[in-house]
Copies of this chain bind each other. A is one copy, B any other.
Amino acid sequence: MASTAMSRGARALEQSVGREAVIRAAARVFMERGFTATTMDDIADVMGATKGRVYHYYRSKVALFADVHELALLMITTRIRQVFEAELPPDEKFHAMCKEHIRTMIEEFALCRVGSVHGLDRHLIESASTQEARMLRKIVKMRDEFEGMFLQVIIDGIRSGHFREAPPKYAVKAALGALNWFGVWFDPTKKTSEAELATMSETLATFSTDGLRSLSSR
């Protein structure tokens, strides 16, 4: 199962070298199969290499997964923060953040899907060594930071009257759920036109923002 026709074609696409090649290959396979169903052979296969190369850079599968996850969160948090720090009314800012989120998922689907869909299962954290556990706790903290930006804008929006009264901690889960679910149903192997991608991100962003709006803000 390790060397299918598909992995052969994939090799040509991976042109980065060294540690980065490993992390990008890992992102691809973790995205498709999740943590447990991914084998070190699968990852090596995507690079047209063998396990030895993977273990040269990472001492365990958990450590590699943690690095992929961290890279994903670092990237999306950085991009969302750009919008978060802009001077905009809460509803416009929220809409822009949602759109940036979807756009990021489209551009870096493999990385983002690892970060959002394939969450950190409890049993993964439990089975980790102390060193690995520290990496995984860091990831949880980064995710809280990411969610925190959306939460803050919701709180601001309720205060300013743009958004209706609602428990912010649940509202933020609802909005991010609508966005993150994109990683579940979108199929990156199908060719999708730019216009269609724009329609998707606009529909999702407007849905998420309107779901929060107060009557007077329409």
Q: State the A residues within 8 Å of B (CB).
A: 1, 32-37, 119, 121-123, 127, 164, 166-167, 170-171, 173-182, 184-185, 199-200, 203-204, 206-208, 210-213, 215, 218
Contacts and interface: CB of A to CB of B under 8 A. Distances in A.
Contacts of A170: 199-200, 203-204
Q: Which of A122, A174, A175 has the most CB of B within 10 A?
A: A174
Contacts of A200: 170
Contact of A182 (B1, B33, B177, B207): B177
A32 B177 contact: no
B36 A34 contact: yes
A78 to B, nearest CB: 23
A123 to B, nearest CB: 6
Contacts of A206: 166, 211
B119 A184 contact: yes
Given A34-B121, A181-B181, A218-B218, A207 B203 contact: no
Given A166-B207, A211-B208, A37 B123 contact: yes
8 contacts: A1-B127, A34-B34, A34-B121, A36-B36, A164-B210, A167-B199, A177-B185, A180-B181
A-B residue pairs, 6 tightest by C-beta: A177-B181, A211-B211, A207-B211, A36-B37, A174-B207, A36-B36
A184 B177 contact: yes
Given A34-B34, A34-B36, A175-B207, 16 more contacts: A1-B127, A32-B123, A33-B36, A34-B121, A170-B203, A171-B207, A174-B204, A174-B207, A174-B208, A175-B178, A177-B177, A178-B178, A181-B181, A210-B212, A210-B213, A218-B218
